[in-house]
Amino acid sequence: MGEINLARVDERLIHGQVMTTLSQKAGVNSIFVVDEVVAKDKFMRGLYKSAGGRTGQKTIVITPDKAKYYWDEFNFKDYSCILIAKTVGVMYELVKHGVPMKELNIGGIAKKDPATDLPVTKAVYLNKNDALLLKEMNEKYGVEDIYFQATPSLPRTELKEILKKFDL
């Protein structure tokens, strides 16, 4: 049975030294990029597979529905993966479906709506809805360790500190 060694939300998906460093985590043998648009675009899919391949890890690019199916039918086979998506919503959808994860790193989310998105770290803007989803993932779905950290060399900010910014 496979496992999710680390889940990460980062709009850039695979980029630079960050993924190279994260992929060196003990036990990791693959990267699963979960994104509807990228998975359906042959050029983009190839680009991300190539970028992930430079880390030395097998890279699989799939839609959220395919990720759910792959978990339900095969439990991610023998992959110990980094699971990466662009949004909190996709990660929530996977967890709610039953894809188990213990550690979720929020690495990079850009500001989309100045009226609702708050800067919670230098690299992450979050709205209250996403904050509520993260809180629910932690409290109801067993994602024990949710933290904000753009790169492995930066200090972590814990979920409880972020939730205070939303009075949650």
Residue 32 is predicted with a pLDDT of: 96
- Which is it for strands 118-119 and 125-126: parallel, antiparallel or unpaired? antiparallel
Quote the CA–CA distance of 111 and 142 in Å, as a whole number.
28
- Amino acid 8 reads R
Which range, of 47-51, 87-91, 154-158, averages the lowest pLDDT?
47-51
Q: Is the pTM of this model over 0.75?
A: yes
pLDDT tens-digit profile of 23-81? 887 789 999 999 999 999 999 999 988 887 788 889 999 999 999 999 999 999 999 99
The helix (run of H) or strand (run of E) holding residue 126 is strand 125-126
Residue 95 is predicted with a pLDDT of: 98
What's the mean pLDDT in 153-161?
A: 96
What's the mean pLDDT in 133-147?
A: 98
pLDDT tens-digit profile of 112-139? 999 999 999 999 999 999 999 999 999 9
Quote the CA–CA distance of 13 and 59 in Å, as a whole number.
12
Quote the CA–CA distance of 15 and 79 in Å, as a whole number.
21
**Termini Cα distance of the chain:** 36
Does domain 3-164 fall under CATH 3.40.720.10? My reply is: no
CB-CB contact of 52 with 22 (8 Å)? no
- Which is it for strands 58-62 and 30-34: parallel, antiparallel or unpaired? parallel
